[in-house]
Structure 1
Amino acid sequence: MAEFTSHEQADIIFMYGRADGNASLARRLYQERYPNRRVPNVRVFSNTYRRLSESGIHHAEHAVNPGRHNVNVEEQILAAFEADPTTSIRVVARDLNLSIWKVWSTMHNEKKYPFHGTGVQGLEETDPARRIRFCRFLLNADIDDAWFLKSILWTDESKFSREGITNFHNLHEWADKDSNPNWKKQISFQRQFLINVWAGVIGRTLVGSHILPDNLNGQNYLEFMINDLPMLLYDAEVPILDTDRPITFQQDGCPAHLAVSVREHLNRCFPGNWIGRDGPIPWPARSPDLTPLDFSVWIRVKELVYTTEITTREELLQRIEAAFEIMKQEMQMKVTTTEVRNRCKKCIRNDEGHFEHQQ
């Protein structure tokens, strides 16, 4: 950006103030007032105001700008980020008594960019070996039987609340640079409600949704398995039901799933052919990244449910039902085949078992 004299910058700030912070209007006012001058780019108005607000220093040729083109200062900035790559521009600026603009521009010129981390499930000491063992079993079974992955009924429960899951890093509203909408999202409501939703997926067929009791235990989960699950599979028109091929039932290690009566029922309905904790095919604990419900279905459903704020339990139920209808149309076979294979391979390649940060 071309430099402007102190007098020109004072006029730029004056016009920016007259325009009440509207940079486009400020540029027009400046052009009308000073027709014989070069007209600054619209960004100059807001940038000049920001620099002056943050550091009290302008960019005129004769201005004294401590830290500008100062190799020692730039080395201090880079050293601060090298010592702690997770620190922030604001913290470094405060510690080195510099403007935020100076720190940001130094990092930008050095082609340094902030990368956000990925939250992963905490693992116990014995978890990685069990996860890798399970992944190898799936991959080998898939090689031996091309229909194996397509015949797994993956199941899971997820709770939906009034607040939903809020990731403020991804919350934003696009607007003109000089027109901050200052929008807000309400959280921490005094009047709360919670809905426990069960769903399953087999091949490209989404089964459910079905509302379970808020406090799931072995008894009411068994009642669901006996009374509701067969009808849900029938209503979903699961293609495999019209063949002689058995379904492989999968569930995670939720306490309700571990009830003796539940496991006895699974042994009767899916003899030697169900995946779960203490099942004939052991499910590795703390492995939501391996089930399509967690890495695909719930993410998309909640994205649809929480597009806008929810005020009543009835509205939340309607949103969940509508989201599942959309998801049933969007569901693709590759989620339960290609994506499962890829995740199993990545889990094996990473000795720790974590791989979602590389997705």
Structure 2
Amino acid sequence: MAETTLVNTSMQNWKLEHRIFCVEFYFKHGSFTTVNELFHAKFEAASSPCKSVIQSWVSHFRAYGIVLNLNTKDPKRPTHSGRPRKRTAEVIDDVREAVGNSPKRSIRKRSQSLGITHTTLWRVLKQDLSFFPYRIQTGQKLSNVDKVKRVAMAEKLVAKVESCDSFLGLLFTSDEAHFELDGRVNSKNNVFWGTQKPSEIVQKPLHSERCTVWAAIGARGIIGPIFIEENGRNVTVTKERYVKVLNEFWKEVESLYPSLLPKLWFQQDGAPAHTSLIAREWLKNHFGTRIISRLTPFEWAPHSPELSPPDFYLWGNLKDKVYANKPQSIRELKISIKDEMGKIPKSVCMDVMTNFVKKLRKCMEVNGGHLEHAISWVFQ
């Protein structure tokens, strides 16, 4: 039995000469059947355009006077639809100049001032000019005094690194951070598909459960995590509790590096609990003058979290990994923090401290201003 091959003639890629032939002979004979017979004889084709396709070509010719598909891409025409081109060279130049004069202006205001639609403006910006809407990061306002202090601190630390080869290996930088139990809730993932708006609310507590974690990172590794809590419950960081944290830190350091105790340096930011009288007394008794902090001879500049290794690396990297495990309780959250912090290799800690020096140099280059994100590195 001979096989029958079905051809979808409506989806076939008919050539321009096929269109012209069918339209011409339809107007001459007025019969679709006759047009099909003549088409087979002319082109010796196994198939021919069906009636509906020929009807569409005829209707198109009556409406536009041509059989060419206006929506087909053709390099000889400025547009594919036959409509006047809105993204002219003049419009593109106007948009380029406007963006150069005010790069922060909104799409709505810019389209109004230029007299073009939002859609056209977006296409000019994205397709013609290859612009991209970068988000501006927010940072704490730095006064001139802050900038001077940041530069002075950076210069002093860099000089210390350059004059003492072992300094970077003897420095521990410290800080604490809060880990919320529901810290990574993306509202865009709360979707309900249906025909009517659901009477459903994703409930979350007003104040999420959390734990406060302290740690110190240096080229030799990480000391911590140390959880700031009482009877298993998270508590506020006070001067008395901070001293308890320092005592735990010192016990760990004593067991790991007993021969280095007289040489180790310690850095902390200027939080009130850190710079209280009893905390400064404790630090002085254990580190002598080898302290980098507020209210010390070697001062840590205020408003400088992006220069602190715990802030620019440890906490962000750790939270990405901890929340990927989706902890369901404070116990699970604390276990995940311990596990993930323990997985950070010493080689990464050494890279972090190397980049700490790079950031200090960058701070000097920008005269104490906010750092540009021009320093990149690869962590294992």
TM (normalized to structure 2)?
0.67
Q: Give the corresponding residue for 2:330.
A: 313
- CA radius of gyration, larger in: 2
Q: Is 1:84 aligned to 2:102, yes or no?
A: yes
Amino acid at match of 2:366: N
Residue 224 of structure 1: which of 245, 248, 258 is its match?
A: 245
Q: What is aligned with 1:340? A: 356
User: 1:81 offset after TM fit, Å?
Assistant: 2.4
Aligned AA for 1:36? N
Post-superposition offset of 1:208: 0.5
Within the alignment, does 1:278 sit opposite 2:330 as a pair? no
- 1:125 equivalent among 127, 144, 169: 144
Instruction: Tell me whether 1:215 sits opposite 2:232 in the alignment.
Output: no
Of 124, 136, 155, the residue aligned with 1:106 is: 124
Taking the TM superposition and a 5 Å limit, the aligned residue runs for 1:4-15 are none
Whole-angstrom distance in 1 between the partners of 2:295 and 2:340:
33
Query: Distance in 1 between the 2:149 and 2:186 partners?
Result: 31
- CA contact 2:92–2:128 (8 Å) conserved in 1: no
Change (3 A) 1:32 1:164: farther
Distance 1:278 1:73, change over 3 A: same
Equivalent position SS for 1:278: coil
**Aligned residue identity for 1:225:** L
Q: RMSD in angstroms over aligned alpha carbons?
A: 3.3
Instruction: Tell me the percent identity.
Output: 23
User: Could you tell me which amino acid in structure 2 is paired with residue 231 of structure 1?
Assistant: K
Q: Is the 8 A contact 2:363 2:369 kept in 1?
A: yes
Asked whether 1:258 is paired with 2:278, we answer no
Query: Structure 1: 5+ residue runs without aligned partners?
Result: 1-29, 39-57, 173-185
Q: 1:81 to 1:311 in 2, by over 3 A?
A: farther
Identify the residue that residue 35 of structure 1 maps to in structure 2. Answer: 12
Deviations 1:64-101 (A, max 9, x none): 346242x4433443344234312344654466564544
Check 1:86–1:241 CA distance in 2 against 1; reply closer, same or farther (3 A cut).
Answer: farther
Structure 1 stretch 302-311 or stretch 271-280: which is displaced more?
Answer: 302-311
Residue in structure 2 matching 1:149, options 157, 168, 174: 168
Aligned-partner residue type, residue 128 of structure 1: K
**Residues 137 and 352 of structure 1, relative CA distance in 2, 3 Å threshold:** closer
Change beyond 3 A, Cα 1:190–1:241: same
Correspondence for 2:304 among 272, 275, 287: 287
CA separation of 1:31/1:206 partners in 2, compared to 1, >3 Å: closer, same or farther? farther
- The offset of 1:140, in angstroms, is 1.4
What do residues 18-68 of structure 1 show as CA deviations (whole Å, max 9, x unaligned)?
Answer: xxxxxxxxxxxx977412348xxxxxxxxxxxxxxxxxxx78756334624
Aligned partners of 1:118 and 1:357 also within 8 Å: no
How far apart are 1:245 and its partner, in Å?
4.8
From 307, 328, 340, the counterpart of 1:323: 340
Contact 2:146 2:301 in 1 (8 A): yes
Q: Which amino acid aligns with 1:129?
A: V
Q: Which residue of 1 aligns with 2:199?
A: none
For the residues of structure 2 that align with 1:230 and 1:164, how far apart are their CA atoms?
A: 30
Partners of 1:91 and 1:163 in 2: how far apart?
38
Closer/same/farther in 2, CA of residues 323 and 31 from structure 1, 3 Å limit: farther
Most deviating of 87-96 and 104-113: 87-96
Change (3 A) 1:165 1:287: farther
Corresponding residue of 2:365: 349
Whole-angstrom CA distance in 1 between matches of 2:369 and 2:258 = 34
1:146 Cα deviation after fit: 0.3
Q: Is the 8 A contact 1:300 1:327 kept in 2?
A: no
Taking the aligned partners of 2:203 and 2:118, their CA distance within structure 1 comes to: 30
DSSP-derived class of the 1:208 partner: strand
TM-score by length of structure 1 reads 0.70
Letter of the aligned partner of 1:216 in structure 2? V
- Counterpart position of 2:91: 73
How far apart are the structure 1 equivalents of 2:251 and 2:368? 40
d(CA) in 1 for partners of 2:204 and 2:103?
32
Instruction: Specify whether residues 63 and 257 from structure 1 end up closer, same or farther in structure 2 by C-alpha distance, changes over 3 A only.
Output: same
Q: What are the residue-to-residue correspondences of 1:134-283 with 2, within 5 Å?
A: 134-164=153-183, 189-190=205-206, 192-213=208-229, 214-226=235-247, 228-234=248-254, 237=256, 240-243=257-260, 245-283=262-300
- Aligned residue for 2:273, secondary structure, equals helix
CA distance in 1, matches of 2:203, 2:154: 39
Shift of the 258–241 alpha-carbon distance from structure 1 to 2, 3 Å rule, reads same
Measured against aligned partners, the alpha-carbon deviations of 1:113-152 in whole angstroms (never above 9, x if no partner) come to 3333333332233111111111111111112210011111
Aligned-partner Cα distance in 2 for 1:215–1:122: 26
The amino acid across from 1:306 in the alignment is Y
How far apart are 1:299 and its partner, in Å? 1.6
SS at match of 1:323: helix
Matched residues in 2 for 1:164 and 1:246: separation? 39
Counterparts of residues 57-68 of structure 1 (less than 5 Å): 63-65=82-84, 67-68=86-87
Question: C-alpha deviations, 1:247-290, integer Å up to 9, x for none?
Answer: 11111101101211111111111111111111231111111122
> How many residues are aligned here?
291
